[in-house]
Amino acid sequence: MTMESTIQEIARNARLASRTLAVASTAKKNQVLQDLARRLTDLTPEIQAENRKDLEAAREKGLSAAMLDRLTISDATIAAMIQGLNEVTALEDPVGTITKTWTRPNGLEISKKRIPLGVIAMIYESRPNVTVDAAALCLKAGNSAILRGGSEAFFSNTILARIIGDALENAELSRESVQVLPVKDREAITLLLQQEAFIDLVIPRGGEALIRFVVKHSTIPVLKHYKGVCHVYVDHACDIDKAVSICINSKTQRPGVCNAMETLLVHKTMAPAFLPRMAEAFTQAGVEMRGCPQTLEMVPNAILADDNDWEAEYLDLIVAIRVVDTMDQAMDHIAAFGSDHTDVILTSDKINADTFVNSVSSSMVGVNVSTRFNDGGELGLGAEIGISTSKLHAFGPMGLEELTATKFVVLGKGQTRL
Amino acid sequence: MTMESTIQEIARNARLASRTLAVASTAKKNQVLQDLARRLTDLTPEIQAENRKDLEAAREKGLSAAMLDRLTISDATIAAMIQGLNEVTALEDPVGTITKTWTRPNGLEISKKRIPLGVIAMIYESRPNVTVDAAALCLKAGNSAILRGGSEAFFSNTILARIIGDALENAELSRESVQVLPVKDREAITLLLQQEAFIDLVIPRGGEALIRFVVKHSTIPVLKHYKGVCHVYVDHACDIDKAVSICINSKTQRPGVCNAMETLLVHKTMAPAFLPRMAEAFTQAGVEMRGCPQTLEMVPNAILADDNDWEAEYLDLIVAIRVVDTMDQAMDHIAAFGSDHTDVILTSDKINADTFVNSVSSSMVGVNVSTRFNDGGELGLGAEIGISTSKLHAFGPMGLEELTATKFVVLGKGQTRL
């Protein structure tokens, strides 16, 4: 078989399996998740043996210690996978929910009913635990999944796929409900992205280059965010203690993630009181500051920011700081340099809070809170499969509900159109 | 300026205009729509003069009478545009609606708030009235629009754009809230489809070739349907009179549209009583029948269908007919050849109706109704901007609400993430 026919076969089988999954009961789907959790415990030694093959190859290729760490399936990694499976089991099944009903003047009874999307392809670079997490979320929402993890995790993902398949088969569901692409080639991704006849959604997770590659080559709808350039705007009036605490949390609680603050905007009347205290806290936390000229007047240990800093997603202990004359200027800055991800105002001015909330069109707009709350778990959606900054379908964290669609169900008594 | 910088400039200006539109009041948006309606009345002679230029060019190019008819802006066309504007004025403004609120254990108050998508590009082949209809719907939902109609309607669309711009300016809104691409080149479309930094959604409307072109070249999300291969399945038990009437309505009420029936599936126990009567009605209505061998036994004037007939979107007075052994076989046929658009079961068997509704994943699934009801107006959504058969974002007719997204608004009192 050519690679093209292999990939098409995988996609076609996923579509076939999705028809059964779409009508599978919640009990059956939960049974698979719980069975899978048991198998991961029982088969930990086998999983770790396969994982060691990946680790050895990675060491030979000279991957960094951080990369090796991400690749390792430790006992703690297994425990986290199992906890994830338990959490997804506990989530409410969105499939079959009626979201709205109404009756037309001609007597048609109309409802919108939640259904699975069908087949979801995930393309990711990161840890092998994504394989189990993504499979669980897709499955619970009644979708087939085609998973393509990083080639450096090939052996780990292959055994995880086999175990997931065993759990599916044990519940009399098709093994092809969850498939891991059995080829390492990048060409396989390009071919997969052309299977729009069989695949409903692609979710890429990883660096901006991977995501741009997927968007460029896909004829299938893609949910993604390129990057998170998140802003905190400190308004003309606010509680300085709280502002410092929120900024430290937004920047340093986990600097390597997409909802960490990258740029701090400060109103000029607040800057003289706020910035020196903020700078002290940043310095203590080991945060490098890159500021506009006005910032540098108040923060001598900041270095001068250049144009690149305003659009940088540092993912590191670095922050860009700009003093603005008005809230409008802050919002213009966010519109020009932001990424529609997460933007927050810190203010005690109720009118400004409302204006900011109404005018800034990011997936999460916050008032007096940390940017770090833009997360499926923190917002109360349960587990998340990713965050979208394109406004289509889902805007922000995507939970189970975002892995479904609604169809129109129309019940009649023989009505025809006039 | 190069074409590339022209197109980028248009997209950038649309984005800028969208920020003002996003916070424009309902009253102001309605004022523009009503002002536009008055201007269309007052300027009918000028519009028709420009339209005549398009018509003359079209005649020289030898376009068909049907094409010339679609291109003509008659007094009735103007009246229909004005009626459309009045209908959109009357629709509820979705922007600003809170769709859901909840409070987290840490006191965060979370809501989902409806916002415009931002900038919408429409690419269409058909009549110039789409220019006014699409502009009105985008505007009412707070979105900027970039419109690219068929090159054969260039002069008509250009004057309509100027009049729309005048109505916007009169309400102190940017003319660039609605722009018509001022170039005829197809290259302009390709360039437009790369402006994902400024454009949030592309809606192509027209033939399958145009839509495939847009999907292939776009890095921006696309809402579309390629075609409507709609099925009616006549079950083992049903009211034959009603079934004949629904099938005639589904096939002939307007055969050239996407929600017309293309394939009729009939359960084998119902076929002997139903098919001869159905065939008589089809024959009277001038419908050509292409059937499976079993159909031909009962309908002597049908011709033998080949494989192409099962996936054909005839858009004409032709119907494909197949006798099936079971409802499962009918549903397998729909899964194999359908287009996820509209599929209907005619039955008096409540259990079969439920199974069909649950198992068939089309944008509209109907019981004992005509396929022709899959339409924004008929379902009660108000005007529609198109129909989507990809399940992402919108599945089925897209009304005003489908031209919006929801963002998370998070109100706190200084909370940080633990």
The CA distance from A195 to A184, in Å, is 18
Distance CA A183, CA A154 (A): 9
pTM for the full model? Answer: 0.93
Higher pLDDT, B207 or A178: A178
Cα(A16)–Cα(A177) distance, rounded to whole angstroms? 9
Considering only the beta carbons, identify the residue of A253, A373, A391 that sits closest to B410.
A373
Element (H, E) at B63: none
Distance, CA of A145 to CA of A106 (rounded, Å): 41
pLDDT on residue A66: 83
**DSSP code of residue B222:** B
CB contact under 8 A, A221 and B374: no
Say if B210 is an interface residue toward chain A (CB within 8 Å).
no
Class of domain A3-224+397-410: alpha beta
Tell me whether residues A410 and B367 touch, CB distance under 8 A: yes
Residues of A in contact with B390 (CB under 8 A): 200, 221
pLDDT at A386 over 80: yes
How many angstroms separate the CA of residue B376 from the nearest CA in chain A? 11
Q: What is the pLDDT of residue A126?
A: 67
Q: What are the C-alpha distances in Å from B334 to residues B262, B339, B395? A: 11, 8, 17
- Any A CB within 8 A of B367 CB: yes
Q: Which residues contact B340 (CB under 8 A, 6 or more apart)?
A: B361, B362, B363, B389, B391, B395
Closest to B193 measured CA to CA, from B149, B137, B146, B155: B146
Taking only Cα atoms into account, the Rg of chain A, rounded to an integer number of angstroms, comes to 24
Q: What does DSSP say about strands A396-398 and A386-388: parallel, antiparallel, or unpaired?
A: antiparallel
Reported as a single tens digit per residue, the pLDDT across A320-376 is 999 999 999 999 999 999 999 999 999 999 999 999 999 999 999 999 999 999 999
Which residues, in sequence order, are CB contacts of A309 under 8 Å at separation 6+?
Answer: A263, A290, A320
Q: How far apart are CA B143 and CA B119, in angstroms?
A: 5
A239 touches chain B (CB under 8 A): yes
| Residue B80 CB contacts under 8 Å (≥ 6 apart), including other chains | B129
Strands A201-205 and A178-180, bridge-based pairing: unpaired
pLDDT, averaged in runs of 10, over chain B (418 residues)? 92 96 97 98 98 95 88 95 95 96 96 97 88 95 95 93 97 96 86 96 92 94 93 98 98 94 98 98 98 97 96 96 98 96 98 96 97 94 90 93 95 95
Phi, psi (rounded to 5 degrees) for B108: -65, 130
Provide the pLDDT for residue B184. Answer: 74
Q: Is A343's Cβ below 8 Å from some Cβ in B?
A: no
> In this complex, do B411 and A367 lie within 8 Å of one another by their Cβ atoms?
yes
Q: Which of B110, B221, B373 sits opposite A392 (nearest CB)?
A: B221
Do the Cβ atoms of B154 and B182 come closer than 8 Å?
no
Using CB atoms, pick whichever of A104, A370, A412 lies closest to residue B380: A104
B205/B149 Cα distance (integer angstroms): 10
Q: Which of B253, B379, B409 sits opposite A408 (nearest CB)?
A: B379
Q: What is the pLDDT of residue B214?
A: 95
Inter-chain touch B391–A365, beta carbons under 8 Å: no
CB-CB under 8 Å, A223 with B373: no
Which residue type sits at A380?
G
Q: Which two tokens stand for residue A318?
A: 């670095």
> Would you state the pLDDT for residue B125?
83
Is there a contact between B407 and A23 if contact means CB atoms under 8 Å apart? no
Closest CA to B410 of A380, A400, A278, A260: A380
Contact B416 A246 (CB under 8 A): yes
Q: How does pLDDT run across B371-416, given as a tens digit for each residue?
A: 999 999 999 888 889 999 999 999 999 999 999 999 999 999 999 9
- Residues A407, B396: C-beta atoms closer than 8 Å: yes
Closest to B370 (Cβ–Cβ): which among A246, A411, A416? A416
Residue for token digits 């990939």?
Answer: A7
Q: Per the CB < 8 Å rule, is A405 touching B417?
A: no
Domain ranges, ordered by start, for chain B: 3-224+397-410, 230-378
Q: Among partner residues A216, A373, A392, which is closest to B392 by beta-carbon distance?
A: A392
Are residues A392 and B396, on separate chains, in Cβ contact within 8 Å?
Answer: no
- Using the Cβ of B104 and the Cβ atoms of chain A, whether some distance falls under 8 Å is answered with yes
B327, B342, B390, B418: which to substitute to probe chain A, counting the most A Cβ within 10 Å?
Answer: B390
B399 contact A CB<8A: no
Q: How far is CA A308 from the centre of its chain?
A: 25
User: Among A185, A216, A358, which residue's Cα sits nearest to residue B97?
Assistant: A358
Average of per-residue pLDDT values in chain A: 95
| Cβ–Cβ contact A104 with B under 8 A | yes
Q: Min CA distance, B283 vs chain A (Å)?
A: 19
- Chain A contact set for B395 (CB, 8 A): 405-407
Interface of B with A in 163-202 (CB under 8 A): 196, 200-201
Over range A194-220, report the average pLDDT. 94
Residues 25-84 of chain B with CB under 8 A from chain A are none
Q: How far is A196 from chain B (nearest CA, A)?
A: 10
Is the model's pLDDT at A234 over the cut of 70? yes
Q: Does B343 touch chain A if contact means CB atoms closer than 8 Å?
A: no
From residue A97, alpha-carbon distances to A212, A401, B364 in Å are 35, 10, 16
Fill in the DSSP letter of residue B288.
Answer: E
Q: Tell me whether A252 touches chain B (CB under 8 Å).
A: no
pLDDT of residue B206: 87
CB contact (8 A) between residue A378 and residue B335: no
Tell me if B249 and A417 make a contact (CB, 8 A cut-off): yes
Q: Categorize the per-residue pLDDT at A207 as very low, low, confident or very high, splitting at 50, 70 and 90.
A: confident
Q: Do A396 and B412 touch (CB under 8 A)?
A: no
Position A184 pLDDT exceeds 80: no
Task: For residue B58, give both structure tokens.
Answer: 């079209």
- The percentage of chain A sitting over the pLDDT mark of 70, rounded to a whole number, equals 100
Q: Are A381 and A394 in contact (CB under 8 A)?
A: no
Contacts of B392 in chain A (CB under 8 A): 117, 200-201, 221, 223, 392-393, 405
> What's the number of CA atoms in the CB half-sphere (13 Å) around residue A159?
20
Q: Does A357 touch chain B (CB under 8 A)?
A: yes
What span, in angstroms and rounded, lies between the C-alpha atoms of B123 and B199?
Answer: 13
State residue A304's pLDDT score. 98
Give me the CATH topology for the region A230-378.
Answer: Aldehyde Dehydrogenase; Chain A, domain 2 (3.40.309)
- Rounded distance between C-alpha atoms, residue A308 and residue A141, angstroms: 41
**Interface with chain A: mutation pick from B369, B388, B411, highest number of A CBs within 10 Å:** B369
Tell me how far apart the alpha carbons of residues A73 and A51 are, in angstroms, rounded to a whole number.
7
Q: How far apart are CA A33 and CA A87, in angstroms?
A: 10
What SS3 class is residue B207? Answer: coil
B386: left (phi over 0), alpha (psi -120 to 50) or beta: left
The pLDDT score that the predictor gives to residue B127 is 81
Cβ-based neighbour number of residue A105 at 10 Å: 6
Question: In this complex, is the C-beta atom of B330 within 8 Å of any C-beta atom belonging to chain A?
Answer: no
Chain A contact for B357 (CB, 8 A cutoff):
yes
Check if A219 contacts B (Cβ < 8 Å). Answer: yes
Q: Which long-range contacts (CB under 8 A, 24 or more apart) does B23-31 make?
A: B23/A358, B23/A359, B23/B142, B24/B142, B24/B173, B26/B93, B26/B95, B28/B171, B28/B173, B29/B93, B29/B139, B29/B140, B29/B142, B30/B89, B30/B140, B31/B171
Buried b (16+ CB within 10 A) or exposed e, A141-159: bbbbbbbbbbbbbbbbbbb
Question: What is the number of other CB atoms lying within 10 angstroms of the CB of residue B326?
Answer: 11
**Predicted local distance difference test score (pLDDT) of residue B126:** 67
Say whether B198 sits in a helix, a strand or coil.
coil
Contact B359 A200 (CB under 8 A): no
Compute the distance between CA of residue B399 and CA of residue B131 in angstroms, rounded to an integer.
16
CB contact under 8 A, A378 and B117: no
Q: pLDDT digits over B330-370, tens only?
A: 999 999 999 999 999 999 999 999 999 999 999 999 999 99
CA distance B362 to chain A (A): 7
Please check the confidence at residue A147 and state whether its pLDDT lies above 90.
yes
Task: Establish whether domains A3-224+397-410 and A230-378 are of one fold.
Answer: no
| Interchain contact A329–B (C-beta under 8 A) | no
Q: Write out the two tokens for A240.
A: 């300085």
CA distance B29 to B52: 31
Burial A38-75 (b: 16+ CB within 10 A, else e): ebbeebbeebbebbeebbeebeeeebeeebeebbbbee
Give the span between the Cα atoms of A173 and A33, in whole angstroms.
12
